[in-house]
């Protein structure tokens, strides 16, 4: 039994392929999890952000390759919970994705401090040689978004 199986969303989403998105201006991190089949969320790569059309094309390929049924997108808020301009931008992208991929179930997840958490995890993990790796930060942030979603 893994640490995620005790959370209600684990049972609700059991057997579904879940993709998480950490949308950034330069890099978009991706995470993946199939509750009941995978022991925990894992990194699923990254997309270099070359504009929204490029993102849609790349995302569509990932959705097809991984047979994605659920997408969890990180939405940035201020630490006090208020919305910023970035929040509004991310919500607009989220709404566009919902419209573009109607067969997929979408969720939003607060991504406040996920990049900070990802950096701390790297510095404390032998998996990353206890070092910060800027090429993996967005992917790990997407994993943390997915972990937080399953736990919420």
CATH number for the domain including 62?
3.30.420.140
CB 30 within 8 A of CB 21: yes
Query: pLDDT tens-digit profile of 16-75?
Result: 999 999 999 999 999 999 999 988 999 999 999 999 999 999 999 999 999 999 999 999
pLDDT exceeds 80 at position 111: yes
> Taking residues 81-88, what's their average pLDDT?
94
Residues of the domain holding 51? 8-151
Q: Write out the H or E segment, with its range, that includes residue 12.
A: helix 8-12
Q: Hunting for tokens 């990049």 — which residue is that?
A: 115
pTM to 2 decimal places: 0.93
Query: pLDDT tens-digit profile of 117-149?
Result: 999 999 999 888 899 989 999 999 999 999 999
Q: What is the pLDDT of residue 2?
A: 57
Query: pLDDT tens-digit profile of 74-83?
Result: 999 999 999 9
Q: Hunting for tokens 């919970």 — which residue is that?
A: 81
Average pLDDT, the chain: 94
Q: Hunting for tokens 């995302």 — which residue is that?
A: 59
Residue 126 falls inside a structural domain: yes
CB 12 within 8 A of CB 35: no
Residue 121 falls inside a structural domain: yes
User: How many Å apart are CA 23 and CA 78, to the nearest integer?
Assistant: 16
Residue 3 falls inside a structural domain: no
Domain count, the chain: 1
Residue 1 falls inside a structural domain: no
pLDDT exceeds 90 at position 7: no
User: How many Å apart are CA 115 and CA 24, to the nearest integer?
Assistant: 11
Residue 41 falls inside a structural domain: yes
Helix then strand then coil, in percent of the chain rounded to 5, is 40, 20, 35
Residue 48 falls inside a structural domain: yes
Residue 111 falls inside a structural domain: yes
pLDDT exceeds 60 at position 94: yes
- Model confidence at 1, in pLDDT bands (50, 70, 90)? very low
CB 97 within 8 A of CB 62: no
Residue 124 falls inside a structural domain: yes
């Amino acid at each position: 039994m893994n640490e995620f199986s005790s959370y209600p969303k684990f049972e609700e989403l059991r057997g579904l392929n879940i993709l998480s998105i950490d949308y950034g201006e330069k890099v978009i991190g991706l995470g993946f999890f199939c509750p009941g089949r995978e022991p925990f969320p894992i990194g699923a790569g990254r997309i270099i952000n070359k504009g929204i059309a490029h993102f849609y094309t790349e995302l569509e390929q990932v959705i097809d390759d991984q047979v994605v049924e659920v997408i969890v997108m990180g939405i940035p808020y201020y630490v006090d919970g208020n919305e910023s301009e970035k929040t509004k931008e991310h919500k607009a992208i989220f709404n566009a994705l919902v419209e573009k991929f109607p067969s997929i179930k979408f969720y939003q997840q607060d991504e406040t401090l996920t990049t900070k958490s990802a950096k701390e995890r790297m510095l404390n993990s032998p998996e990353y040689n206890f070092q910060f790796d800027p090429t993996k930060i967005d992917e790990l942030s997407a994993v943390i978004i997915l972990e937080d979603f399953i736990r919420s």
